[in-house]
Structure 1
Amino acid sequence: MRASSSTFISKKHSGSHLPWYTIYPTIQEFSSAIGAETYEEWLRSLSTDDAVSLYLHIPFCRSMCWYCGFPTSITRLDNLIINYLAVLREEIRLVAELAPQALPVSDVHFGGGSPTIMPPGDFLSLMELLRGRFAFEKAANIAIEVDPRTFTTDMAEALQKAGVNRASVGVQSFDPIVQKAINRVQSEAQVMTAVQNLRLHGIGRINFDLMFGLPYQTVQSCRQSAMLAIEMRPDRLAVFGYAHVPSYRKNQRLIDRAALPDIAARAEQASVMADTLVAAGYLQIGLDHFALPDDELALAQRTRRLRRNSLGYSAETRQTVIGFGASAIGRCGEGYVQNELPQDSYNRSIASGHLATSKGYRLTVEDRVRAAIIEQLMCYLEADVPAICTAHGFDPIHLLSSAKQLHILAEDGIVDIDNGLVRVRQECRFALRAVASAFDAYLGRPPL
């Protein structure tokens, strides 16, 4: 390996400035040229032969977490949430009328924000509407994000009645010093109570979200957080690196930049969390997920059915994702769409009887090839470039010869290349986004 040290490599290929590649091309390439009329055409062209995934964005929280990078609104008033849900229900009706009747649904995801702060009765009526407008498969997966600080028994009962079978619990860190620095104070007891409440109500498939790279976080506190999480035995864990972009998210300006760990420390924190989870029997999945061996995510990785899309890593999501709510992203066969981000704009569009699509992207053949390569890398740490190109009728020489960064990665010992098969070395998993970016034709180009 030419690099003088692992610290040098982590600095050179850390990827802190790179996309997460949940979708390709990334949202920076979306254009207002793809609007509501185009999305209507794409919805009408869907086939009932293929099931779809649904995503519902509930952009409300009771308090602002300073690390958060998502568009959310802080409210103590249920009326604001109830009014938003009324608009959301109208959007569901509009989309269902455009899509084929009895469109099959394989899975539903509620995100935000904190979707479990909505009134339990409203959640039940929302699920009733979805089931009435779409044809849910018998074994449909229904997942929801949970904030343990506001999770109630009434909501747990509603989730059970609605058929929810997976919950993702936001933890981030168990270190009280870190929690105070990110304005998310929650005790270990609160998290345990939420987990017990979920399991008591038949929701046994549980995910945890943990983070590294947070202010005042240390290697020891990262290890301790991982160990405390292990004691509660979630089926999956996502271990995300904090991305500090205060120019984009004003709430992050409340975080003390001087308290953030440097690149080398971040790499060490990520490594100790991974080692702790793997030692406890979890399998590492893709870039930042961990799963017990009998979890669907681990099974999907073994059987090459793992997916990575706008919903992250999944064993269930389909090629078509229909997004509902302000800022929600969806994908049809032809490309991507995104709803209006400001809630006022979203509300006005739906109230006028039109879809709230603000921008999108129509995929080219080359986009599909590059997306397939990037997804394979992000899921399996390897991609057979010639095989993927051949499947799409595309010349692999063009991709391999134009990926100059790929050869630098090979020289630095990050990847091995054998007849077009690109394989990321296991010890260099942290550089996965840098490898994926070698196939990004748009990276560094001014946004549209």
Structure 2
Amino acid sequence: MTQTLPSRITESVPRYTSYPTAPHFHAGVDADVYRQWLGELKPGQRLSLYVHIPYCDRLCWFCACHTKQTLRYEPVRSYLESLAAEIATIGALIPAGVEVGALHFGGGSPTMVAPQDMIDLAARLKEHFTFAADAAISVEMDPNDLDVARYDALAAIGMTRASLGIQDFNPEVQQAINRIQTFEQTRQVVEEVRSRGVRSVNCDVLYGLPHQTLLTLEHTIDDVLSLSPDRIALFGYAHVPWMKKHQTMIPEAALPDAAERYRQMMRAAAKLVEAGYQPIGIDHFAKPDDSLAVAARNGALKRNFQGYTDDVADALIGLGASSIGFLPQGYVQNMPATGEYQRLAEAGELAVIRGIALTDEDRLRAHVIERIMCDFSLSFADLRRLFPVGADKIVAEARQLAAIDTEGLCRVDSEGFSLTAQGRTMARSIAAAFDAYLGNGKGRHSMAV
């Protein structure tokens, strides 16, 4: 039987890791505003920290992250000194009684950092921030960087979750994206971190890559399942060469079309569910006893710049070049240019150069979009309880959206708005219908699937 494909699969829409999305940040939210927002944090509130390491020793052509290649360690060491200065500056502005509940090292390649430098960086963070006893520490890992000393250093800083980028194990696909990484390398990483007490392992897999087929993707999924990770992220490759010039190295003729991407997504997801993993939102899967799966079942799933999370922090502090933070008042972003970021940090200044202050309508629509992305549904009762002003407007928009839906993607009744099974695959597009900023022409986005 031929599978019916949603007409929206070729749409370009945001991933909604924030609302409003980053293209709508502006210079009106600057370092002075950020300083004020930090000072308004209250004792008893909980923080998450994100530390960005914008360096790799090789440049993967599929990557859309803010990073640069270096074969010398000196730029990394210099950057870490600037990062230490920023940590001290921000730490001094955080009111007493605010605790850190989660720390995430991302990049780039945090595992490029030399072992003693990683230990020193963690010590600097604990010197200037108060960490909860149960704080989670996660690290994005490149198997090509790792050695015994680095494994030991990550164990020494208390890493609780290892996140491994896999993408695809097929050699032809790896060659086309400049990411050579064998299954044996990856298996060794999993064994090494688990032998050091890390009990949570996440693996990232991509579909929609050059030369990728249903068969090659199925083989990769089988290999990943043999590692028994606690979580698996199944992302669609975001081809954005207008934003990331190195993606022009990827042969566009070898990329699967939208229909093939959709089939790859559906087949990979089915295999993961067949293996016992619980689907989480649009692109995550977890073992049923994993905290992410528990949060999803309890309606407590959240979404931020790291994707789906069970983190209940009141604020996210972004550290490092290009990092984005979130506070109750709005979003902030650091200077992306590494050299200018370092100049600001070393001068003892806050490196924030743009952001956005949330309006009441922003908060309302952010809630709507997050619930659609996390729960695939929206309770009208909850909406009216949380947002008594403005809720009726959203209810009317939801009813109108369901009324014009000719493909059976969503439904509405007196209780609320929900997505059908096929509609869940189009959650980004459906969420976009509630985005009041999307039509103003700012920003280009990746394909909906």
Normalising TM by the smaller chain, what interval? over 0.9
Match of 1:216 among 197, 211, 214: 211
User: How much does 1:153 deviate?
Assistant: 1.4
- Residue-by-residue CA offset, 1:232-259 (whole Å, 9 max, x unaligned): 0000000000111111110100011110
- Residue-by-residue CA offset, 1:81-134 (whole Å, 9 max, x unaligned): 111010001001000111113420100001001101100111111111111211
Q: After superposing the two structures, state which structure 1 stretch, 94-103 or 157-166, moved more.
A: 94-103
SS of equivalent residue, structure 2 residue 64: coil
Q: Which letter does structure 2 place at the counterpart of 1:440?
A: D
SS of equivalent residue, structure 1 residue 178: helix
Structure 2 matches for 1:17-36, cutoff 5 A? 17-36=12-31
Q: After superposing the two structures, state which structure 1 stretch, 392-401 or 273-282, moved more.
A: 392-401
Contact 1:213 1:242 in 2 (8 A): yes
1:184 matched to which residue of 2? 179
**Separation in structure 2 between the aligned mates of residue 305 and residue 221 of structure 1, nearest angstrom:** 35
Gap change, CA 1:409 and 1:131, over 3 Å in 2: farther
**Separation in structure 2 between the aligned mates of residue 8 and residue 281 of structure 1, nearest angstrom:** 26
Match of 1:358 among 353, 356, 359: 353
Instruction: List gaps (5 residues or longer) in structure 1.
Output: none
1:175 aligned onto 2:170? yes
Structure 2 matches for 1:76-155, cutoff 5 A? 76-155=71-150
Gap change, CA 1:22 and 1:114, over 3 Å in 2: same
Match of 1:338 among 333, 336, 339: 333
2:446 matched to which residue of 1? none
1:240 matched to which residue of 2? 235
Gap change, CA 1:15 and 1:305, over 3 Å in 2: farther
Match of 2:266 among 267, 271, 290: 271
- Residue-by-residue CA offset, 1:128-178 (whole Å, 9 max, x unaligned): 111121111111100000001111111110111111110100100011110
Structure 2 matches for 1:183-332, cutoff 5 A? 183-332=178-327
- Residue-by-residue CA offset, 1:246-282 (whole Å, 9 max, x unaligned): 1111010001111000111001101111111111110
**Separation in structure 1 between the aligned mates of residue 11 and residue 170 of structure 2, nearest angstrom:** 24
Q: After superposing the two structures, state which structure 1 stretch, 14-23 or 257-266, moved more.
A: 14-23
- Residue-by-residue CA offset, 1:24-60 (whole Å, 9 max, x unaligned): 0001110100000000000000012111100000011
User: How much does 1:405 deviate?
Assistant: 7.4
1:42 matched to which residue of 2? 37
Percent identity at matched positions? 38
TM-score when normalising by structure 1: 0.96
Q: After superposing the two structures, state which structure 1 stretch, 12-21 or 38-47, moved more.
A: 12-21
SS of equivalent residue, structure 1 residue 299: helix
2:372 matched to which residue of 1? 377
2:405 matched to which residue of 1? 410
User: How much does 1:79 deviate?
Assistant: 1.0
Contact 2:361 2:390 in 1 (8 A): no
User: How much does 1:8 deviate?
Assistant: 4.2
**Separation in structure 1 between the aligned mates of residue 83 and residue 404 of structure 2, nearest angstrom:** 45
2:447 matched to which residue of 1? none
User: How much does 1:318 deviate?
Assistant: 1.4
Gap change, CA 1:303 and 1:321, over 3 Å in 2: same
SS of equivalent residue, structure 2 residue 49: strand
Contact 2:398 2:412 in 1 (8 A): no
Q: After superposing the two structures, state which structure 1 stretch, 254-263 or 127-136, moved more.
A: 127-136
User: How much does 1:317 deviate?
Assistant: 4.6
SS of equivalent residue, structure 2 residue 426: helix
- Residue-by-residue CA offset, 1:182-239 (whole Å, 9 max, x unaligned): 0001111010111111111111210000000000000011111111000000000000
Q: How many residues align?
A: 443
Q: Which letter does structure 2 place at the counterpart of 1:256?
A: P
**Separation in structure 1 between the aligned mates of residue 441 and residue 165 of structure 2, nearest angstrom:** 35
**Separation in structure 1 between the aligned mates of residue 293 and residue 129 of structure 2, nearest angstrom:** 29
Q: After superposing the two structures, state which structure 1 stretch, 306-315 or 37-46, moved more.
A: 306-315
Match of 1:348 among 334, 343, 351: 343
Q: After superposing the two structures, state which structure 1 stretch, 303-312 or 277-286, moved more.
A: 303-312
**Separation in structure 2 between the aligned mates of residue 355 and residue 279 of structure 1, nearest angstrom:** 48
Structure 2 matches for 1:387-426, cutoff 5 A? 387-402=382-397, 406-407=401-402, 410-419=405-414, 421-426=416-421
Gap change, CA 1:290 and 1:79, over 3 Å in 2: same
SS of equivalent residue, structure 1 residue 13: helix
Gap change, CA 1:408 and 1:288, over 3 Å in 2: farther
**Separation in structure 2 between the aligned mates of residue 373 and residue 304 of structure 1, nearest angstrom:** 13
User: How much does 1:399 deviate?
Assistant: 2.1
Contact 1:57 1:110 in 2 (8 A): yes
1:71 matched to which residue of 2? 66
User: How much does 1:397 deviate?
Assistant: 2.6
RMSD: 1.7
**Separation in structure 1 between the aligned mates of residue 270 and residue 75 of structure 2, nearest angstrom:** 43
Contact 1:141 1:316 in 2 (8 A): no
